[in-house]
Amino acid sequence: MADLRYGTEWFAKAVKNHEGVTRASALPNGYVRLERKDFSDKDLEPITVAPLLADRVDATVVKAVLANTIPTVILSIPKGVAL
């Protein structure tokens, strides 16, 4: 099984000021829930992001992520970025 490490806090802080994000919440499983709006200020369905600290995402990593809970997006954050 892949060793999964998440950049949860880093990603939540980085994305919270994006104009389409109304709230970024860290979840206990390492994912981040994003509440969003479109450019006409209409609320959009929230999404979940699995912000992986990984230089690459292969089939083993994807299977390990999906074994936990299925996120909307699996995002690869190079290990040196999220400090």
Q: How many structural domains comprise the chain?
A: 1
State residue 82's pLDDT score.
60
What is the domain range of residue 62?
Answer: 8-77
Considering the domain boundaries, does residue 1 fall inside one?
A: no
Q: Note whether residue 82 is domain-resident.
A: no
Residue 62 lies in a domain: yes
Rounded-to-integer distance, Cα 34 and Cα 39, Å: 16
Asked whether residue 61 is domain-assigned, the answer is yes
pLDDT the model gives residue 80: 72
Distance (Å, whole) CA 42 – CA 37? 5
Residues of the chain with pLDDT under 50: none
For residue 83, tell me if it sits in a domain.
Answer: no
Task: Classify residue 3: in a domain, yes or no.
Answer: no
Q: Output DSSP code: residue 28.
A: T
